[in-house]
Structure 1
Amino acid sequence: MVEPVVIAHRGVPGERLEHTRDSFLLAIEQGADVIEPDVVATRDGVLVVRHENEIGHTTDVAQHARFADRRTVKVIDGVAFAGWFTEDFTLEELRTLRCRERLPQLREHNLRLDGTAGILTLEEVVEIARAADRTVGVYPETKHPSYFASIGLDLDDLLLATLERCGTDGAADSDVPVTIQSMETANLRHLRSRTAATIVQLLDRAGSPWDLHVAGDPRTYADLTTDAALADIATYADGIGPNKSLVIGRDDDHRLTGPTGLVERAHEAGLLVHAWTIRDENNFLPLDHRVGDDRAAHGDAEGECLAFLEAGVDGVFADVTRTAVAARARWSANRVASPSA
């Protein structure tokens, strides 16, 4: 029996500041198989781990008077954002900043950690994984690859160069297995022949890949879930990473309805399925797994995660690693008790 993998989504942001060393270390301690960072580029071509290239919401950059003139407005994937952007800073400058909680209304307990950690590079995340007492993979998401390429910072080139410096080709049998994911399609197609790493095509519940939009291709993420589209994805990717609602639907009252059949169809196309994201707070849970009315309170995320494991996914992204590990233990126990399940 092959157990689904637990992917620590930016570390353990439900209990530590996301993308920080303590967050990734706690994920490994809690049993994560893989740690997952989002990667964006600095002005001097270094990949750093941030949720977005706009860092006003996740660092104390606004408190640094020397960077006041760096505040600007940029259009990223068709949306205007005001703030400070990693591509306007060198790594040395970013090293002077400190991380902040991204969701303070829901994760007030993390506010005590504001200012205690700096920004990590992807290389440092790989070394955190390598230092574990067991094999731990790294699962970088390249954020806005078309945008970065348009300003002369090719995330694919930077990613492969980083892995080479780290002494890993990312293959499944390497000391640090690597899985590369993206919400866009073209960069993953280009990567297929350049790396031994696993490749996963992310799929959202709405909208379309930005590279398709720019190319005038009308296909949406929903269009990429058809049998024909899954077969095409299988020509350049090893798996898909669908939004949870593409795996198990929700009714109008936001209760789980049942598997959509996507997992089975993806498996028929030879694709792994890694669903995102299991989060403990009521705010993110389906109505039938919430506990109480407090949006920030933790509900039955373990039960929700179990439902996705029983739907046949090969892995789950989770904001609290121990929640997903506990759900997997229940899933495994169910399989032992009912081998035909």
Structure 2
Amino acid sequence: MLRKTLILTSILTLTACNSDDRDNQTHNPTPTPTPPAYVEPEIIIVGHRGASALRPEHTLEAYQKAIEDGADFIEPDLVPTKDGYLVARHENEIGSTTNVSELPQFADRKTTKIIDGVSLTGWFTEDFTLSELKQLKARERIPDIRPQNTQYNDQFLVPTIEEIIELADQHYQKTGKIIGLYIETKHPTYFQDLNLAMEDRLLSSLAKYEYSRSIAPVYLQSFEVKNLQYLRSQLDRLNTLQHAKIIQLYSGQSSQPADALKAGLGTTYGQLASAEGLKTVAQYADGVGPSKTYIVSNQGVITNFVSLAHAQGLKVHPYTLRPENEFLPDRLDCSPNPAEKCETGALAEFEIFFKAGVDGVFTDDPGLGRQAADLFLKQ
């Protein structure tokens, strides 16, 4: 990477200055400052879809709030548009996260599709160009649990991955703080079958920016396996992203990765969570992102998952710690009201996971996560 950079710098200098050897002896170009070395925190706080407990998820405003509240990483989930741009939505079905259902010009786009074996009816990003998606406005996905977020409905746009990288870079330019990018490719096999594969598009977008090439950590995650193995091979071959890592996500133990299901394989996430399964995962991944019950059971029992993963050199970043009673274990609830934000319960849950030895957590409220991590590390 350094050799390529030096060669490119030399070509640009000769082209711009058209100088001879005598000029070069007396007018040396100013060296480009070396970006600071990234040092990962002992426990990372990942703003899950941004600060989605406080702003409609997957908007620049949600990511900005996460950064302001102390997140080390922001997490975009990516899906493609009809013309191949990558945009941030939790799902390619956008009826519940935008105002598309109220726009008459898109009424005929409503349809039913089978996504990874599940029938869904609504509006899908792959049926819209980017310019059409930019006519939509974001909305709160779970208004019954987060009614306060509805005040931001119809104010924010659907962002592209480039806009998200630029947001983090602008914060770095202003403050010097490096914000990592923790990026999920959604439904990769489904989109590959539509000739809208995301992997090379994503790597190309990341390679455009010095920030994502050589300054910030970039974690690439998926619930599938083959696309992560492909991304690993491309990262090793291209060597363009200095701080890129691969994270295998885990859904329910009895369910299967969509690519394994399509291929007729019997592989389950539970098998991938075994000692032998984690050994296989470590051949292509740097870490794992399990749902939180892999680490702490519904009865509050801490499992051996973290120690098994650490034995294979894998980082462990569980999802998702949320502050509302609806999502907390019953024993940590503040009241029967599912929509009530229970800070004491949330802080207690963070501490449980930190004591279990995780290397980071996904959270909808990065401010609480930052507070909990700081308190824990002071102990």
SS at match of 1:194: helix
- Answering whether residue 284 of structure 2 is matched by residue 244 of structure 1, we say no
- Answering whether residue 106 of structure 2 is matched by residue 63 of structure 1, we say no
Match of 1:94 in 2: 133
- Answering whether residue 255 of structure 2 is matched by residue 216 of structure 1, we say no
1:199 to 246, 270, 282: 246
Q: Tell me the distance in 1 between the aligned counterparts of 2:252 and 2:327.
A: 14
TM-score, normalised by the number of residues in structure 1: 0.93
Q: Percent identity?
A: 43
Q: Tell me the distance in 2 between the aligned counterparts of 1:52 and 1:280.
A: 22
The 10-residue stretch of structure 1 (188-197 or 270-279) with the greater mean CA deviation from structure 2: 188-197
- Answering whether residue 369 of structure 2 is matched by residue 324 of structure 1, we say yes
Match of 2:326 in 1: 283
Bigger share in helix: 2
- The structure-2 alpha-carbon separation of the partners of 1:168 and 1:189, relative to structure 1 and needing over 3 Å to count, comes to farther
TM-score, normalised by the number of residues in structure 2: 0.84
| Counterpart amino acid of residue 279 in structure 2 | A
Match of 1:339 in 2: none
Match of 2:206 in 1: 163
2:159 to 106, 109, 120: 120
- Answering whether residue 73 of structure 2 is matched by residue 73 of structure 1, we say no
1:176 Cα deviation from its structure 2 partner: 2.4
Match of 2:356 in 1: 311
| Counterpart amino acid of residue 248 in structure 2 | Q
| Counterpart amino acid of residue 319 in structure 2 | W
- Answering whether residue 188 of structure 2 is matched by residue 145 of structure 1, we say yes
1:205 Cα deviation from its structure 2 partner: 2.6
| Counterpart amino acid of residue 321 in structure 2 | I
The superposition leaves residues 251-285 of structure 1 with CA deviations (integer Å, 9 ceiling, x where unpaired) of 2xxxx22x101001100001000010010011110
Unaligned segments of structure 2, at least 5 residues: 1-39, 236-240
The superposition leaves residues 270-317 of structure 1 with CA deviations (integer Å, 9 ceiling, x where unpaired) of 100001001001111011111010000122111101110110000100
SS at match of 1:330: helix
SS at match of 1:53: coil
The superposition leaves residues 218-266 of structure 1 with CA deviations (integer Å, 9 ceiling, x where unpaired) of 1111111111110110010000001000011122xxxx22x10100110
Aligned residues: 326
1:177 Cα deviation from its structure 2 partner: 1.7
Q: Tell me the distance in 2 between the aligned counterparts of 1:228 and 1:110.
A: 43
1:2 Cα deviation from its structure 2 partner: 5.3
1:8 Cα deviation from its structure 2 partner: 0.3
Q: Tell me the distance in 1 between the aligned counterparts of 2:211 and 2:199.
A: 15
Match of 2:273 in 1: 225
| Counterpart amino acid of residue 97 in structure 1 | L
The runs of at least 4 consecutive aligned structure 1 residues that moved more than 6 Å come to none
Q: Does the 8 Å CA contact 1:126/1:176 hold for their aligned counterparts? A: no
Q: Does the 8 Å CA contact 1:129/1:176 hold for their aligned counterparts? A: no
Q: Does the 8 Å CA contact 2:169/2:211 hold for their aligned counterparts? A: no
Q: Does the 8 Å CA contact 2:246/2:285 hold for their aligned counterparts? A: yes
Q: Tell me the distance in 2 between the aligned counterparts of 1:77 and 1:34.
A: 28
- Answering whether residue 123 of structure 2 is matched by residue 84 of structure 1, we say yes
1:321 Cα deviation from its structure 2 partner: 0.5
Q: Tell me the distance in 1 between the aligned counterparts of 2:256 and 2:368.
A: 31
Q: Tell me the distance in 2 between the aligned counterparts of 1:225 and 1:27.
A: 30
SS at match of 2:317: strand
SS at match of 1:308: helix
Larger radius of gyration: 2
Q: Tell me the distance in 2 between the aligned counterparts of 1:68 and 1:288.
A: 45
SS at match of 1:19: coil
Match of 1:190 in 2: 230
Match of 1:28 in 2: 67
Q: Tell me the distance in 1 between the aligned counterparts of 2:282 and 2:222.
A: 15
SS at match of 2:248: strand
Q: Does the 8 Å CA contact 1:130/1:175 hold for their aligned counterparts? A: no
Unaligned segments of structure 1, at least 5 residues: 335-341
